[in-house]
Structure 1
Amino acid sequence: MQINPRRRVRSAVTVVALATVALLGTAGTALATRSDDRATQVVGENATTCEGAKLPGKVLPTSDLTFTGGTDNLLLNITAVGKGVTVTAIVVKGGHGYNVYVPGEKGLPENPPWTELRSPLNKGDQQAAISHWFVCGEKKTPPTEQPKPSEPTKTSTAKPPTSAPTTSKPSESSGTPTSTTAPAPAVDGNGGNGGGLADTGFDNAWLLWAGGLLVLAGAGVLVLLRVRRGKTD
């Protein structure tokens, strides 16, 4: 049985085409693997929102991120995120697709810094520059602290100053201080009443002698009366 030469040519072309398709598929797989093992590569598509990339969260403003590199650069480094920010995914677009980085997966740290993030390799098997990138996540606003009630102002009532007692000064109009106390009267020790009353000039010492004589006379009369009464008995 002879094989038609034309049929051989057709078979050879078919084998070559299948081999080319297989090689292209293998090259595409190798390209995705060599881009970055920490990322999931999406080939031939573009995304500008988290919803378009089928990722949870919303696009966070770059003001909530501290980063270097990015658009028109080969690499992106995110070193910090704002307070209350949770990152669910990072999308880096360039070339003919984009890479999706998920914190905590495929060796990417759960918390920043996330360094040397990149877009997929281009068709020439070279690192493509980043055309755009965005971060998906959410931001929780911390509760506002209620101001503490101000303490009532304590008012103090100032007491009036106590006035010091005033002392009267001696009159300066006269050379000597005025005395209000009268001098005690001089008592003469030779007065007839021993100084108890004012001396009138009358000497009453004879009354003492007269009284003494009357007492003696009375005593003599009593003695005589008893003598006579004894004789009559």
Structure 2
Amino acid sequence: MPRRLRHLAVALLSLGLTVNAVPPAAATETEDPRAETYEGNAVDCEELGGGILVSVEPNEKVENVALTYEGGVPGQDQYVTITEVPEGIAVTAIVVKGGPGYHVYVPGEPGVPKSAPWESLRPPLNPGGNLPQISHWFACGEEAPSPTATTEPVPSELTVARPEPSEVAAEQPPVREAVDAPTPTSPSGPTTSNFADATDTPPSPGDEAAPVAAGEEDLASTGFSGGWLIGVGVALLVVGGALLVVARMRRTKDKATS
């Protein structure tokens, strides 16, 4: 063999031994700690909560809600990023299938934000430790519950608090039963000049007696006292009785002398 060909053969043999001696590069991808990893075919939204918002397959695309996303082309991309979700929609789960398994991302779980964006979502590694391309992916969700504001009513300055019935009863003074004062009756019989003098002279403003509340033992003052009228009446009765006795005694005496 010519020397030149021999040298070429040695060089090629050495190169082949060197290539075989270098071990294959280890896979740098690891499983995504944000996701739950499952094997087999992906489940549907009935088991994850809500309904289909967006579903992307190789030959079919369902878009019930217009999510904004990047990547996620089946058979081409390895990642999908959801950047925006319409207002009033709550995403319950995002499923990314590729190779023999799939990942489930749940918003609000550790490592997964509760709201968009959700970045670099991908399928799990295949048995060889490589990241496969996305075969299909979908997002589940439902209408977000509207927040109910609980505001306490602010009392108005014009609002007057009504007291409780027990407080009203305690504050009111006891009601006294009104007693009608008896009306003084004018005494019958002759009157004397002293009575006339007392009634003809009007009392001065300073001599007026203070009004007496109804129900008291004394009668309301009228400007003069009528107690002496009772004494006059009794005296008249006594004098009248004495006169009757004297008249009977005279009649008896006259009958006896005749």
Q: Same fold (TM over 0.5)?
A: no
Q: Which is higher, the Rg of structure 1 or of structure 2? A: 1
Q: Under a length normalisation based on structure 1, what TM-score does the superposition of the two structures give?
A: 0.43
Task: Provide TM-score, normalisation by structure 2.
Answer: 0.39
